[in-house]
Amino acid sequence: MPLTTAPDTRPTSSMSAAILDLLLPYHRTTDPAPAVAGAFAHQLRQIAGFVRAGEPVVFTLPGFPCKSPNPAKVLGHLPDQGERLSLGFLNTLCEAIERVHPPGARVIICSDGHVFGDLIRVPDDHIDAYADGLRCLIRESGLHRLSVFDLRDVLGDLPHDTKRAQVHERYAPTLEALRAEVRSEDHTLALYRGITRFLVDDTAGFTGTRSALQRTCRTRAYGVIQRSRAWGDLIAEHHPGSVRLSIHPQPIGAPKFGIRLLDAADVWTTPWHSAALHRTDGTWTLMPRARAERLGRLVHRDGRPSHYEQG
């Protein structure tokens, strides 16, 4: 229900800027200077389309793929307090938009674990269980402004390898084009290095040398970026006009708006690569499970490990 019944008579442009202003405090970027709404011309045009139509603003957020396979980083393969808090934040953000734009907003969580599950070495049944766990959290917590979209919504019950091959073949950039982009664009180079680092950190039980692990992770990082680009194009095809959010840092004015879900020391940290710690001052932060374990006691919820409590 809208929080006001009075019609908002502001022009579309100022309404769109007011909506974007609500996102700016959570902008995930490596740019040092704060930005104003006017610096995001692409997002303002997209938001204006929904405002003019009197419709909810639709955001698509690729991410929430699955938990890291490294037990030093996470509590298990199912969603826990990190996801619960992050989903709650996104729903609250939609509620805030509703107070400015009565039709409100909704976020489609585009869970991408199956897109590159073979590259990140996570079993497909764990990915299914994680996505189903997200849907359960959304339903049980009454987060009505959120939904989950994954490859099962596109390609049904086809074998996972077949789904991945079809998406890659239809949408992915060539390896040659991607390598050229990494060489020429600082943002893509930073993404490549960040994903390589995550793949190295996520690897558990590797018996070869550190240099051999880094070599294979560099190769896999290119594949992850190819599939991620493919997933992005598929999302755009299925959800045309939606405002694209990203869990990766994005430059000011980029076509994707980077969004920070929870506090963390590293801008690359996500709930699925970490554990949540409830600090003594009442705030939450994300960090590797092994570190959180040193700082707090483990808390269970619904019979499963949930988070750590400091104090």
The low-confidence residues of the chain, meaning pLDDT below 50, are 1-7
Q: What is the pLDDT of residue 8?
A: 53
DSSP of the chain, one letter per residue?
--S--SPP-S-HHHHHHHHHHHHGGGB--S-SS---GGG-HHHHHHHHHHHHHT-PEEEEEEE-----S-TTT-S-SS--HHHHHHHHHHHHHHHHHHHHSTT-EEEEEEE-GGGSHHHHT--HHHHHHHHHHHHHHHHHTT-TTEEEE-HHHHHTTS-HHHHHHHHHHHHPPPHHHHHHHHHH-HHHHHHHHHHHHHHHHH--S--S-HHHHHHHHHHHHHHHHHHHHHHHHHHHHHSTTPEEEESS---TT-SSEEB--S-BSSTT--GGGSEEEE-TTS-EEEE-HHHHHHHEEEEEETTEEEEEEE-
Give pTM, 2 decimals.
0.90
Q: What is the pLDDT of residue 5?
A: 41
pLDDT digits (tens, 9 = 90+) for 54-108: 999 999 999 999 999 999 999 999 999 999 999 999 999 999 999 999 999 999 9
